[in-house]
Structure 1
Amino acid sequence: MEKLLLKFGEILMLIKTLQKTDIDLFYLVNSGVKNPLFDFLTIFISDTVYISILLISYFSFKNDKKVLIQVLFAMFLLSIFVFAVKYGVSEPRPYEMLEGVILLKNMGTQPSFPSGHTTLAFGFWIIFTRNIKNSKIISSKKVFEIMIMLLWAFLVAFSRVYVGVHFPHDVLGGMLIGIVFGYIFIRFSEKIIK
């Protein structure tokens, strides 16, 4: 019993350390380096995630309506899943819990975990990449597009912490959920198509 209590104490210490690191990282990104150009860019990236997904989907897959519908359906399902997880976990936003948050966007009181923008960006990146790789010719242009989309997904994640609406663990959770969802959706949709 004593060993069990000792292990439990170690786990609690680890959790406290991770929470402190998460908050420290939040403050570093949110208030570390502020300038008007970064403020504008991060707000722009944050505000245009959904429309970017729609436009990129349309212009990338407009010649293959089946793929276009599949990608948009995946994003719709992922949005519903994220909404359910958010309200299931019901974690407050950083500006509701911490002092001194530089808030560039107000998200009201909608729950924080996971970052929906980040989840959709990474889920979209996985599904986008798979559909680009499925096309007949893999060119350096397509590889470049895949890398640009990955960079965009990371910028979305960064922007959500920078503007003050998510903790780092919110965006990390969003990355993982988006990637896992993307892989599961691809496997599931391939089986249906076959």
Structure 2
Amino acid sequence: MNNFINTLNELDQEMILFLNGLGSPFWDGFWQFITNKWTAFPLYALLCWLCYKKHSLKQFLAILLCIAVMIALTDQLSNLFKIQFHRLRPCHNPLINGRLRFTHCGGQFGYFSAHAANTFALACFLGNIFKHFYPKMLLWLLLWASIVSYSRIYLGVHYPLDVLTGLSIGILFGYGMYIFYKRIIIKKIK
């Protein structure tokens, strides 16, 4: 088992060095902008407005509550994993941090990416909520979540495996919350 984990870590390190090395100073500012949590505020405001416009007040408030619970769960699960696994972020890993082209470092530990988990959970949940009104919304939101998630690799903050784990957990929680909303919440508020 240790050989498998070591091989996985080595592969992850090679992948981040390759992907991080693809960057250029021209794009650095763009990816810093994308990774900033406040950058998406206009998107969140638009999504809130669309939710309010397409749903009753009770449904709108229920959707907001579901989002708050879902993001709290994905975010706190990410924090729990970071504490339990103690996996150094690439930018803090002395084996590779000197070889990274560009870094924008966060806390010391990084398994798994809360950015990826939160954005994919939101994309999956709202994409399904809106699928009857805006059929392509899910695809657009998943593209947005992918771009935000990639920014974490570009900036040397997360390994690709951190992002893939966050993506998987985000989709699981987002779709799970959508099912909960459709099967339980909607029946209670109608």
Q: Same fold (TM over 0.5)?
A: yes
Mapped partners of 1:50, 1:188: distance in 2: 26
Task: Find the structure with the greater CA-based Rg.
Answer: 1
2:44 match: 54
Match 2:139 to one of 142, 147, 156: 147
State the Cα deviation string for residues 99-145 of structure 1 (Å, max 9, x = none). 32234422132x20110101111111110111012x4x4xxxx2333
Where does residue 101 of structure 1 map in the other structure?
100
Q: CA separation of 1:12/1:68 partners in 2, compared to 1, >3 Å: closer, same or farther? A: closer
Instruction: List runs of 5+ in structure 2 lacking aligned partners.
Output: none
Q: Is the 8 A contact 2:66 2:177 kept in 1?
A: no
1:162 pairs, out of 129, 154, 159, with 154
Of 31, 54, 57, the match for 1:42: 31
1:148-169 C-alpha deviation (Å, 9 max, x unpaired): 2111111111110101111111
User: What does residue 130 of structure 1 align with?
Assistant: 128
1:19 and 2:9 matched: yes
- How many matched pairs? 176
Structure 1 residue 91 corresponds to structure 2 residue 87 = yes
Instruction: Spell out, residue by residue over 1:66-107, the C-alpha distance to the aligned partner (whole angstroms, 9 max, x if none).
Output: 323332332233222222222222221111112322344221
Q: Which structure 1 residue ranges, 5 or more long, are not aligned? A: 1-10
Matched residues in 1 for 2:50 and 2:113: separation? 25
Contact 1:57–1:68 (CA under 8 A) maintained in structure 2:
no
| Separation of aligned partners in 2, 1:127 and 1:118 | 14
